[in-house]
Amino acid sequence: MNLSSLVPPATTKGSSPPNSSRGSGNSVTSAMNVAGVTRIRRTDLQRIGRLGVGAFGLVTLEADRRTGRTYALKAVSKGYLAHLRMEYSVLNEKRILKMLDTPFVVRLLATYNGREHVYFLLEAALGGELFTTYERLKLYGSEVHAKFYVACVTEALGHLHERNVIYRDLKPENLLLDVRGFCKVTDMGLAKITTGQTFTMVGTPDYMAPEVIDQTGHTRSVDWWTLGVLLFELMAGKAPFESKTGNAHETYSLVKKGIETVRFPDSLRPEATLLVRHLCHRNPEARLRVPKLREHNFFRNFDWAGLVALRLNPPLVPQVRGPRDLTNFRDCEHEDPQAMPYQDTGSGWDQGFEDDTLTVGAAAAAVQAPMLPMPGSSSSRSAPAQGSPTSSGYRHMAMSANGGVQVQHQHQQQQQQQQQPKHRVGSPPCSPRTLQARQVTSSTARLGTAQAPTSARGGWTQGHSERKMGTGSFVPPIARSASNMQSPPSSPNLGGC
């Protein structure tokens, strides 16, 4: 397959980026007509392989038979949804995804309704999870990387908040890298549309704000708290309120004591420390947020306009060999989600769920998938050396003063094959999400902690799965109602790897 036919035209400086939400509707419509992409039916899709497997279902990489472009398809078990009485909450996830149109959130392209599953067709972010990238390359402590990814998330949260959406589930596991290295927020399962306070205890313990734990009512301010936790984690290698024993209640106690009691690594510059403190302020209304957040000294000379226009080169470019490359995701071809047959009760909750006609924003994203080849390269690509920690499927970039970067090729270039590999060669050894591993952790929280800012948190045998509640793979974070009774979260968490 000729990859050049899948590549959108290059963007010149000052023009609208190819996957930006800016631009005229006429140009997008023209692109849709040229590519013939106004609708993607499920029968148009051909499975390439699995990106992730969980208790609710699985995520697969799918190719459009007509164009060769690839997308991620999240299949959610109706039986599981019915068992947890979550049928209508998955409709909320669809509603929120359809509201969003930004390059910093994984876009929804279409939805399908099957006999046993409902499906979300999404942008394929083939660079994998940010968590996996940090663990694999030991990026903890790098301010250059943390600044760029936190800036991407800042733009995503600002977009959500403009639409009165609280995200509530920020963490490295829910951040994906696209083929250019831009960071995208994914999984709107715990998001909620509200203009006031909401009282559900929901999220991941390490990232919960005090008002969420106390159930005194929370607003969009909780997302800025989680951004502070994220910055700390990317710089320190662990969350600021992480329990040494892996006990959620101990984590809650540490959160309530406040950021003032947290010891910051000596390697953090004062600007980074101050930003974390401003984001994790005990008073929700006093937390730093956009637009003032962009003016903080931590982001001095950062090119925000370049980031929004996607002109700013990311500090790291994932090694993706083609639109069918699965190497940045864990090999889970031999794992199967829990079988739970669906019995239709006649409620009709899934009527109208299917929507395979693309909106203008979705069509623009569909036309540009999979955005290859990489910036700064021609038809040739770097080939990662097997087993080498310095050739782990990524290319590092040198950061300039304004946040821009220049490519530094680390490996000898070789001709790219026309037929892209389907199998995972040198796939990252992501942490196992097994039932046994879940039972060891008993309830919540991760086991591994970083010994130094540049070290991996706990190796590949622990990883981030322990932060998610319950047993089994990809179990969603905890959600509790104001009455303190256990209640299911609003959607499964089915990220990649």
- Is residue 465 over pLDDT 70? no
Average pLDDT over residues 115-129: 96
pLDDT greater at residue 359 or residue 209: 209
Question: Do 94 and 241 share a domain, yes or no?
Answer: no
| Residue 57, phi then psi, degrees to nearest 5 | 155, -140
- Is residue 174 over pLDDT 60? yes
Rounded Cα distance, 82 and 88, in Å: 10
Residue type, 430: C
Residue type, 387: G
pLDDT tens-digit series, residues 316-341: 999 999 999 999 998 888 888 888 89
Query: Residue 342 has which token pair?
Result: 């669906």
Yes or no: say if 221 and 287 are a contact pair by the CB < 8 Å rule: yes
Question: Do 57 and 190 share a domain, yes or no?
Answer: no
**Residue 401 covered by a domain:** no
Catalytic residue among 101, 169, 350, 355: 169
Is 178 tagged catalytic? no
pLDDT tens-digit series, residues 401-436: 444 443 343 333 333 333 343 333 333 333 332 223
**Residue 71 covered by a domain:** yes
Q: Residue 29: left (phi > 0), alpha (psi -120 to 50), or beta?
A: alpha
Query: Residue 320 has which token pair?
Result: 């993706």
pLDDT tens-digit series, residues 43-71: 999 999 999 888 788 999 999 999 999 99
**Residue 392 covered by a domain:** no
Rounded Cα distance, 495 and 52, in Å: 7
Residue type, 237: G
pLDDT tens-digit series, residues 268-311: 999 999 999 999 999 999 999 999 999 999 999 999 999 999 99
Cα 222–chain centre separation = 18
Q: How many domains does the chain have?
A: 2
pLDDT for the residue numbered 362 = 86
Question: Do 251 and 186 share a domain, yes or no?
Answer: yes
Average pLDDT over residues 3-10: 37
Residue 209 sits in a domain whose CATH number is 1.10.510.10
pLDDT for the residue numbered 31 = 44
Provide the percentage of residues in the chain whose pLDDT is more than 70. Answer: 67
Burial of 304 by CB count in 10 Å (0-12 exposed, 13-18 middle, 19+ buried)? middle
Residue 49 sits in a domain whose CATH number is 3.30.200.20
Instruction: Note down the domain range covering 234.
Output: 129-313+432-480
- Is residue 19 over pLDDT 70? no
- Is residue 224 over pLDDT 50? yes
DSSP one-letter string for 399-427:
E-TTS-EEE---S-EEEPPSS---S-SS-
Question: Do 276 and 362 share a domain, yes or no?
Answer: no
Question: Do 188 and 270 share a domain, yes or no?
Answer: yes
Question: Do 165 and 97 share a domain, yes or no?
Answer: no
Question: Do 306 and 328 share a domain, yes or no?
Answer: no
| Closest to 377 measured CA to CA, from 310, 321, 311 | 321
Rounded Cα distance, 356 and 362, in Å: 10
Q: Residue 477: left (phi > 0), alpha (psi -120 to 50), or beta?
A: beta
Question: Do 291 and 363 share a domain, yes or no?
Answer: no
Rounded Cα distance, 105 and 169, in Å: 13
Q: Residue 367: left (phi > 0), alpha (psi -120 to 50), or beta?
A: alpha
pLDDT greater at residue 460 or residue 258: 258
E strands, 65-116, where? Answer: 70-77, 108-113
pLDDT for the residue numbered 339 = 83
